[in-house]
């Protein structure tokens, strides 16, 4: 009774489909549609995808189940969760690192979210037709380097996120995901239908699905691992926070598999949309972060009704991004609200303002602050590197160690089988992975990248 009351006060998801769509909404975002294609391009194509799939199913899914377990068991924000499950230990620092990572990622992620709004605006204004590919490259460079415009869009995006988060779990997060996610799927399929009939479709698909194993090296593996964690929203307590709002009867293993499959499918389908276009219009597949903003306009201007499709695409890119920014925002908002004992609105306000400050620095690194380099990286790439290549994998490793070695097996079993009312045939395999495989593999990849082995 007590816990039911408490839960009500904290808010919880209202339906099974709401749980899946909200979690998938967190996972599916710019990571899939913007970051995955350019990471694939920069890391040699199909070979990267194979390594990526390995990372997702072998390491990502088990870590996701661990985050679910921690979150639903503790029914609290990601830092409090460790204080509850491991009182008197330092494990809460792991939750603290997650909150910090969420904050940093949201800061630079919102910059790109802002770009999606600019592209939506330009498409609607009819400025995206009848241009040569080089013109789109130049437009992108000029826009991202300008001091004010990207900042305004970024703030708009953060405010949208803010207003959904303050509405709470059911009315804000769940409801928005239930509307936005189905729309995203629908539009993706329509776009795939178009790009597969382009002349470069064969070349694009070969690049995506025909691996050249000589391209695999430690940096490719670390990128794939970082991308897997980023795309699945793992390693920073995001799904742990969401799981704290899962009802007691949620089948977390099934939910985890569904979210992982949906997320991976959307990433690969985004590649299927983008690479045929890349090869058709002679764009360099390893051109980096601007891939989506420079390549896709070429596709739209050649499509029948391209004007409308461009608008729809950028609306949906923005919506996918929005369901993800909401989840990052929620991690920090829940933390502040519960730990600082302030209202949800106040907590959300602090997060939004903080992110505007971080985002401003990241955004300006494309122009005014372009000369500021730390370890050879500009501020945007530095934040991306620290958060997604350092904090997320490390977070994932420690989450595995925590659930594998610190939480007792019964707790894991109780949560993942809903007190033995569900079957989980691969439970032993799962435990083996989070005890041995995940910590060792993530640890080695990480040490190799920072040059220790």
Return residues touching ligand PHE (CB under 6 A). Answer: 26-27, 29-32, 105, 230-231, 233, 236, 238, 324, 327-328
CA nearest 299: which of 391, 422, 191, 206? 191
The smaller minimum CB distance to ligand PHE, of residues 237 and 276, is found at: 237
Does residue 239 contact residue 81 with C-beta atoms inside 8 Å? no
**What does R_g of the chain's alpha carbons equal in angstroms?**
21
- Give 263 or 415: the residue with its C-beta nearer to ligand PHE: 263
Strand partners, 374: 377
Cβ density class 88-126: b for 16+ within 10 Å, e for less:
eeebbebbbbbbbbbbbbbbbbbbbbbbbbbbbebbeee
Smallest gap from residue 29 Cβ to ligand PHE (A): 3
* Nearer Cβ to ligand PHE (94/139): 94
Nearer to ligand PHE, 128 or 328 (CB): 328
Q: Which is nearer to ligand PHE, 78 or 327 (CB)?
A: 327
Residue 424 near residue 417 (C-beta atoms within 8 A): yes
Pick the closer one to ligand PHE by CB: 51 or 139: 51
Closest approach of ligand PHE to the CB of residue 206, in Å: 26
Minimal distance, residue 396 CB to ligand PHE, in Å: 11
Degrees to nearest 5, angle at CA 99 with 95 and 104 = 145
| Residue 29 vs 45, nearer CB to ligand PHE | 29
* Residue whose beta carbon is closest to ligand PHE: 31
CB of 324 to ligand PHE, least distance (A): 4
Judged by beta carbon, residue 34 or residue 279, the one nearer ligand PHE is 34
Query: Least distance from C-beta 413 to ligand PHE, angstroms?
Result: 27
CB of 18 to ligand PHE, least distance (A): 18
Minimum distance from residue 280 beta carbon to ligand PHE (Å): 26
Closest separation between CB of residue 371 and ligand PHE, Å?
A: 29
């Amino acid at each position: 009774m007590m816990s039911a009351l408490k839960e009500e006060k904290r808010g919880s998801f209202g339906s099974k489909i709401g749980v899946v769509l909200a979690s998938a909404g967190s996972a599916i975002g710019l990571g899939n549609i913007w970051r995955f294609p350019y990471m694939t391009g920069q890391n040699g194509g199909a070979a990267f995808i194979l390594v990526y799939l390995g990372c997702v199913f072998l390491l990502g899914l088990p870590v996701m189940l661990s985050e679910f377990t921690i979150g639903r068991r503790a029914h609290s924000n990601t830092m409090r969760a460790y204080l509850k499950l491991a009182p008197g230990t330092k494990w809460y620092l792991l939750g603290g690192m997650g909150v910090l990572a969420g904050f940093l990622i949201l800061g630079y992620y919102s910059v790109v979210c802002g770009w999606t709004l600019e592209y939506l605006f330009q498409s609607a204004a009819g400025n995206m037709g009848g241009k040569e590919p080089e013109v789109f490259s130049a437009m992108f460079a000029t826009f991202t380097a300008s001091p004010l415009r990207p900042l305004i869009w970024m703030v708009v995006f953060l405010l949208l996120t803010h207003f959904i988060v303050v509405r709470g779990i059911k009315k804000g997060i769940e409801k928005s995901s239930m509307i936005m996610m189905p729309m995203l799927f629908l539009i993706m399929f329509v776009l795939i239908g178009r790009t597969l009939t382009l002349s470069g479709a064969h070349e694009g698909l070969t690049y995506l699905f025909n691996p050249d194993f000589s391209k695999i090296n430690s940096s490719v593996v670390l990128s794939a691992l970082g991308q897997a964690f980023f795309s699945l929203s793992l390693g920073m307590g995001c799904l742990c926070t969401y799981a704290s709002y899962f009802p007691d009867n949620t089948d977390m293993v099934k939910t985890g598999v569904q979210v992982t499959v949906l997320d991976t499918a959307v990433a690969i389908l985004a590649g299927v949309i983008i690479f045929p276009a890349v090869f058709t219009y002679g764009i360099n597949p390893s051109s980096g972060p601007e891939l989506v903003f420079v390549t896709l306009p070429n596709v739209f201007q050649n499509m029948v009704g391209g004007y409308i499709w461009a608008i729809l695409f950028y609306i949906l890119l923005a919506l996918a991004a929005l369901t993800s920014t909401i989840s990052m925002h929620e991690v920090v908002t829940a933390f502040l609200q519960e730990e600082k004992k302030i209202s949800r609105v106040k907590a959300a306000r602090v997060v939004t303002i903080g992110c505007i400050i971080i985002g401003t620095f990241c955004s300006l690194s494309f122009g005014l602050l372009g000369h500021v380099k730390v370890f050879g990286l500009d501020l945007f790439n530095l934040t991306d590197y620290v958060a997604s290549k350092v904090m997320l994998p490390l977070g994932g490793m420690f989450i595995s160690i925590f659930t594998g070695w610190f939480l007792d097996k019964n707790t894991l079993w109780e949560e993942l089988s809903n007190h033995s009312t569900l079957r989980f045939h691969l439970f032993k395999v799962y435990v083996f992975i989070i005890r041995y495989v995940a910590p060792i593999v993530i640890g080695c990849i990480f040490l190799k990248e920072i040059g220790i082995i």
